[in-house]
Amino acid sequence: MPHSLRLALYQPDMPSNMGTMMRLCTCLGAGMDIIEPCGFPFDDAKVRRAAMDYIDHLDYARHRSWKDFADQIGECRLVLLTTKGDTPYTDFAFRADDILMVGRESAGAPDDIHARAAARLVIPMADGLRSLNVAVGAAMVLGEALRQMREQA
């Protein structure tokens, strides 16, 4: 399926975060996959309000379930961004065909997705702190991946 860097959202809970990540992907030239069900009604008006007019320029796909998504990506390398990761994102060698995935804001990603991921990346935090907003974390890691792609070109 994918041949260029993509960001996958696993069952997003908040339309505002999804809209932010839609704008992020549009502006940086990355594709997006949205794995349903979402924690909010995914109707055109709500999505358009969250993504503004950026959605008209976004390469995105909706998937009815994790299984549908997993079947479509085949052997693509899935890179999970998680607070339970074992590799700092700055120590990881990204590839142009990677799919970066973020979990649900409320619950992260389930064990079967952790098992399917080729890598589980973490953003190092100051002692005692847990996590960033999912859209902020996605922006940091996507930015690093794109920086590496420019260096490889």
Beta bridge partners of 7: 32, 100
Measuring CA to CA, which residue among 87, 147, 144 is closest to residue 117?
87
pLDDT at 44 over 70: no
Tell me: pLDDT of 71 over 50: yes
For residue 9, the model assigns a pLDDT of: 98
From CA 141, how far away is CA 131, in angstroms rounded? 14
- In the predicted model, what is the mean pLDDT of residues 20-40? 94
| Residue that is written with structure tokens 């007019």 in the block | 53
What are the structural domains of the chain? Answer: 6-152 (3.40.1280.10)
